Amino acid sequence: MHIISEHPQIMIPTVVPTHSGSQEQTGQAGDPGFLHELAIAVSAEIDSLQSISKLPVAMNPFVQRLVKRTLDVVMSVIGLVLLSPVFLVVAFWIKRDSAGPVFYSQERVGKDHVTFRMIKFRTMVVDAEKNTGPVWAREGDPRITRVGRFLRHSKLDELPQLINVLRGDMSLVGPRPERPAFVLLFTRTIPGYRLRHQIRPGITGLAQLENGYDKDARDVIRKLQYDTEYIYEGNILTDLILIFRTLGRAVKGLKTVD
């Protein structure tokens, strides 16, 4: 039985072309099993997704945008200065643990679908996706280094994204930026997914805190619902609450890491 026959408007392609101007393989975004899983997830939430897709452009008053950007710049500068010793220690650990660069940059899609290079501490072996294309990390992923597991668990691998915030690619709070191959697939197949790109993506956000990393297609739908709630109902107070929640979780992660 065709799982989406009742909703002919949902078109799940069998082949996903690469992002314009990118040489990346489609990887997981072109895997038939993942496409089938995505079709099931979309069909199960079709009513909610269609409601999201009908939402108007979000209203972001100038004053709110100005305050949010000021908060981003001030906190990213303070963070980079105060955390510079942590950067040095983490860099030393990474170099001692495995061959390769300290930092890792990856193409992501930001506000208005403009791509940028997101910076992170390297947590995987070099060329981890050379033969697979874009693939989400999974529990016990052999591509993740020993130090990388610690950095991911404690969220320390995210710290270099403060540079992206300072440059204006990202915000402290917003939807998590995704890779072009996945964005192309989700924009074509998930009603309302395009709305995520009305604002700058964030290091942290409501969806990241409530749902964590994407593990399967259902996570993509759930995070879209959280992102929509933030985009249309969030404000500066929301940002401050989410930032403090993130800091609290990071501290807890440092205490509980193996």
Give exposure, 184-214, as e/b (b: 16+ Cβ within 10 Å): bbbbebbbbbebbbbbbbbbbbbbbeebeeb
Number of domains in the chain: 1
Average pLDDT of the residues in 30-34: 86
Q: Does residue 36 register a pLDDT over 50?
A: yes
**Angle separating helix axes 32-44 and 46-53, nearest 10 degrees:** 80
User: Is residue 121 a contact partner of residue 104, using CB atoms and an 8 Å limit?
Assistant: yes
Kindly state whether residue 240 falls inside one of the protein's structural domains.
yes
3-class state of residue 226 by DSSP:
helix
Read off the pLDDT band of 240 (50, 70, 90): very high
Q: Which helix (H) or strand (E) holds 43?
A: helix 32-44
pLDDT score recorded for residue 131: 65
pLDDT score recorded for residue 71: 96
What confidence tens digit (pLDDT) does each residue in 162-206 have? 999 999 999 999 999 999 999 999 999 999 999 999 999 999 999
pLDDT score recorded for residue 127: 80
Kindly state whether residue 46 falls inside one of the protein's structural domains.
no
Kindly state whether residue 129 falls inside one of the protein's structural domains.
yes
User: DSSP character for 202?
Assistant: E
Kindly state whether residue 96 falls inside one of the protein's structural domains.
yes
Kindly state whether residue 200 falls inside one of the protein's structural domains.
yes
Query: For 212-216, which contacts have Cβ atoms below 8 Å and span 24 or more sequence positions?
Result: 213/136, 213/137, 214/136, 215/136, 215/138, 216/37, 216/41
Kindly state whether residue 54 falls inside one of the protein's structural domains.
no
pLDDT score recorded for residue 231: 97
Kindly state whether residue 37 falls inside one of the protein's structural domains.
no
Domain of 247 in residue numbering reads as: 60-256
Kindly state whether residue 181 falls inside one of the protein's structural domains.
yes
For the record, the structure tokens of 229 come out as 């709630």
For the record, the structure tokens of 131 come out as 């033969």
